[in-house]
A and B are shown apart, each in its own frame.
Chain A
Amino acid sequence: MVTCKQFLQELNAFLEETVDPETKKHWQEHVDACPNCFVIVDTTKKTLQVYKGIEPQTLPEDVRSRLWQALEKKMAAKKQPQV
């Protein structure tokens, strides 16, 4: 008999399916029978989904321009003499 606590400790393995089918089946039975764990699984999946979909924020133009200034300076210092 899987308890909620045992199940939650293995939540990531359950979500990432890094367990053997037999164990997975065991846990799935718990989830099917336990409304709380069912909701936790569902909302954790959604939590991961919203972060997967998020685009990197724009790099502010001034930050970007200072990055490139620093890089160009570095590159100029290292520049190999052209032959």
Chain B
Amino acid sequence: MTPTTSVPTGFDESALVAQAKAGDQNAFTELVNRYERKIYRLAKNITRNDEDAEDVLQDAFLKAYTHLDNFKGDSKFYTWIVRIAVNEALMRLRKRKTDRSVPLDEPVELGEETVQREIAVWEDNPEQQYSQEEWRRILNEAVESLKPDFRTVFVLRDIEELSTEETAETLGISVPAVKSRLLRARLALRETLTRQFKRKGENLLGYL
């Protein structure tokens, strides 16, 4: 079960990292080029703040550059830089203290009263009903509405595609904690998106 990233890392990545470690600045530059967009997205998704996201982006790559010697190469460079960026992002999130997230009301609590309030099939190809920009905004806002603990796990597992183990290690939490937060995050998002994308009209349970 090898975690994959959507960035084509290519066979030359370990060579590139070795060159960067040996002091080749062009090699490091190439690594930054590969991952700057993904790290910015990650930072934005966790901090939900432009200014913080920019700081995280800069500090993550500056730290990576300074501490490149500490990278042992037993994980991917990508997971290493993600770990640095997540730590930076979480630090800033804690600093801001006042979390502006709107906590989801508790439809996903798997307690005694499990109420799944939005059980409806989606319209076919909902993405076709929105502009690309609008579509992205809807998806981003849904992620942003998650509580930080759930959001961070969802971002790492389902957007950045880290494995459960890598996510646990990055966040310093247990594997069962990752699993349970991921479940809640997914169910909460499913609910939010269902409100947006559910099939209009009479036949909401279209499979019946």
Identify the A interface with B (CB < 8 A). Answer: 4-5, 8-9, 11-12, 35-36, 38-40, 42-44, 46-48, 50-52, 54, 56-59, 63-64, 66-67, 70-71, 74-75, 78-80
Main secondary structure, interface of A, reads helix
Contact A11 B183 (CB under 8 A): yes
A-B contact pairs, 27 of them (CB 8 A): A5-B114, A8-B110, A8-B114, A11-B186, A12-B182, A39-B120, A39-B205, A42-B121, A42-B207, A43-B190, A46-B122, A50-B127, A51-B189, A52-B158, A54-B136, A56-B37, A56-B41, A57-B40, A59-B37, A63-B57, A64-B36, A66-B54, A66-B58, A67-B54, A67-B58, A74-B65, A78-B65
**CB-contact partner of A38 in B127, B186, B207, under 8 A:** B207
Min C-beta distance of B194 to chain A, whole Å: 5
Across the interface, name the chain B residue whose C-beta is closest to A45: B190
CA A52 to CA B120, docked complex, whole Å: 22
Complex interface: chain A residues within 8 A of B189 (CB) = 47, 51
Contact A56 B25 (CB under 8 A): no
Contact B110 A9 (CB under 8 A): yes
CA A48 to CA B194, docked complex, whole Å: 13
